[in-house]
């Protein structure tokens, strides 16, 4: 069943048995391939004839599946009530089938084809075509569940789906997912072998973008408020098309708690799409064994950033500092106080000034670029 399966009709036609029905379908397929017409927007499948070819019992199954999967009641009615000699049509919740959505008719086309007992194996190209994500999910749950499928379609021995939709991935049987790759004229097929590979495949089918899922592109854990304010503003200015979530963990001990919550949400972080997208930033003075603990919880070791000196203030843009306090020489830290060229102010006051002065095009300190900004942006872009 190729992608050209959209069809519409108003009334059913009588069924006339064909001696070579199966062979004629095969010849139609061959002619389409030879004429390069298999992708035209006109279904070669005559749905009204296909429905007429079903037995009465099979049509009951078709309408039962339509009700189960789509929540709509379909029955055959006469165009003129009370006149059995008038033409018949399919009534769906009081309306002619031709007035239903294209998605409804596409699902009915698939179901009608699957009811054909002349075949035991079915290959469906892009089953998601024309279907809303919700209907995709309903149809996928049914067709991927062999026990539910066999309840009505016991003749089916196997179904192969060629899809671009993550909804149709088989999550219960990972090996049932086959990845097709093409490099030049070389085409390869390989079975997914792990949950991590399946997650990566799903992420690729979603466009490799967390933003479309209303999720952050990356996660950065920091210790203090000033770290949070500075890095949040910096990433928002440098890459406004992405969403980097900077999480204020209060202190380095709380970083473990935050990672614990992340693991509850994502499972094994190392096997999730976030495997390369979680960073932790710490001052030079931090709890013993912090790096090892964070690595054990799923953060890559090279993504645990430890500043050479104790404070985010040392990696503020030098140009921003010089614009207010004169030639940059060094910063002296004394508890919550910061001294720059004889100017004394609190860490929060300095952070507020830097954040409000950022424009996104500043030259950043080499340590900040090497340890955090460079690796983060290379992962995202």
Yes or no: say if 67 and 74 are a contact pair by the CB < 8 Å rule.
Answer: yes
In the block, tokens 């061959």 appear at: 30
Residue 183, strand partner residues: 186
Q: What is the predicted pLDDT for the residue at 7?
A: 65
- Please measure the distance between the N-terminal and C-terminal CA atoms of the chain and give it in whole angstroms: 38
Query: Which distant-in-sequence residues (6+ apart) come within 8 Å of 140 by Cβ?
Result: 127, 167, 168
Backbone angles phi, psi at 119, to 5 degrees: -125, 145
* Residue of 90, 69, 71, 68 whose CA lies nearest to 79: 90
Residue 287 host element (H or E): none
Residues of the chain with pLDDT under 70: 1-8, 36-44, 208-214, 381
Question: Residue 44 has what pLDDT?
Answer: 63
Measured distance CA(273)–CA(259) in Å, rounded: 15
Indicate the burial class of 285 (C-beta count within 10 angstroms; 0-12, 13-18, 19 or more): exposed
CA proximity to 279, closest of 210, 332, 231: 231
- pLDDT, residue 171, reads 86
Q: Report the pLDDT value the prediction gives residue 39, as an integer from 0 to 100.
A: 46
In degrees, to the nearest 5, what angle opens at C-alpha 91 toward C-alphas 140 and 82?
155
117 backbone dihedrals φ, ψ, rounded to 5° = -80, 0
- How many percent of the chain have pLDDT more than 90? 49
Task: Delimit the domains of the chain by residue range.
Answer: 21-123+148-155, 211-380
Alpha carbon of residue 218 to chain centroid: 16
Helices (H), the chain: 21-34, 47-53, 56-70, 102-114, 133-144, 146-152, 195-205, 225-238, 252-266, 290-296, 318-325, 347-357, 366-368, 374-380
- Residue-level pLDDT at 379: 87
The pLDDT value given to residue 15: 74
Q: Which helix (H) or strand (E) element contains residue 78?
A: strand 74-78
Pairwise CA distance, residues 13 & 87, whole Å:
8
Q: What is the pLDDT of residue 259?
A: 85
Please check whether residue 143 is in contact with residue 159, taking contact to mean a CB–CB distance below 8 angstroms: yes
**pLDDT tens across 292-336, in order?**
999 999 999 999 999 999 889 999 999 999 999 888 777 888 888
Q: Kind of pairing, strands 278-282 and 218-222?
A: parallel
DSSP code at position 5:
-
| Alpha-carbon distance values, 333 to 330, 345, 367 (Å) | 10, 10, 19
Return the pLDDT at 41: 44
| The two structure tokens encoding residue 110 | 């698939």
How many helices (H) and strands (E) the chain has is answered by 14, 14
Strand partners, 191: 178
Strands 158-162 and 121-125: parallel
Q: What is the pLDDT of residue 212?
A: 59
pTM of the model: 0.57
């Amino acid at each position: 069943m190729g992608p050209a399966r959209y069809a519409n009709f108003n009334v059913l036609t009588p069924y006339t048995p064909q001696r070579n029905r199966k062979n004629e379908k095969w010849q139609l397929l061959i002619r389409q391939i030879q004429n390069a017409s298999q992708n035209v927007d006109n279904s070669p499948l005559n749905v009204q004839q296909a429905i007429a070819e079903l037995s009465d019992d099979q049509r009951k199954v078709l309408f039962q599946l339509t009700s189960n999967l789509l929540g709509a009641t379909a029955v055959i009615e006469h165009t003129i009530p009370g006149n059995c000699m008038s033409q018949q049509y399919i009534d769906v919740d009081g309306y002619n089938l031709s007035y239903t959505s294209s998605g409804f008719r596409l699902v009915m086309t698939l179901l009608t084809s699957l009811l054909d007992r002349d075949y035991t194996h079915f290959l469906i190209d892009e089953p998601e075509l024309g279907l809303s994500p919700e209907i995709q999910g309903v149809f996928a749950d049914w067709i991927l569940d062999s026990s539910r499928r066999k309840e009505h379609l016991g003749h089916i021995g196997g179904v192969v789906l060629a899809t671009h939709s993550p909804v149709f991935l088989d999550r219960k049987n990972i090996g049932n997912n086959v990845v097709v790759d093409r490099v030049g004229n070389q085409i390869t097929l390989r079975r997914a072998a792990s949950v991590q590979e399946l997650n990566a495949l799903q992420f690729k089918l979603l466009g490799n973008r967390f933003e479309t899922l209303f999720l952050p592109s990356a996660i950065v854990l920091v210790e203090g408020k000033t770290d949070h304010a500075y890095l949040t503003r910096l990433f928002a200015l440098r890459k406004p098309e992405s969403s980097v979530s900077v999480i204020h963990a209060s202190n380095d001990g709380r970083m473990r708690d935050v990672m614990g919550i992340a693991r509850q949400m994502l499972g094994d972080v190392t096997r999730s799409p976030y495997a390369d997208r979680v960073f932790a930033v710490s001052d030079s003075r931090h709890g013993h064994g912090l790096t090892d603990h964070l690595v054990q919880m799923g953060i890559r070791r090279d993504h645990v950033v430890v500043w050479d000196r104790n404070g985010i203030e040392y990696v503020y843009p030098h140009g921003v500092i010089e614009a207010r306090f004169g030639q940059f020489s060094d910063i002296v830290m004394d508890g919550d106080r910061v001294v720059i060229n004889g100017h004394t102010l609190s860490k929060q006051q300095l952070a507020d000034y830097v954040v409000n002065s950022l424009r996104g095009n500043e030259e950043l300190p080499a340590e900040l670029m090497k340890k955090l900004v460079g690796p983060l942006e290379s992962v995202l872009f």
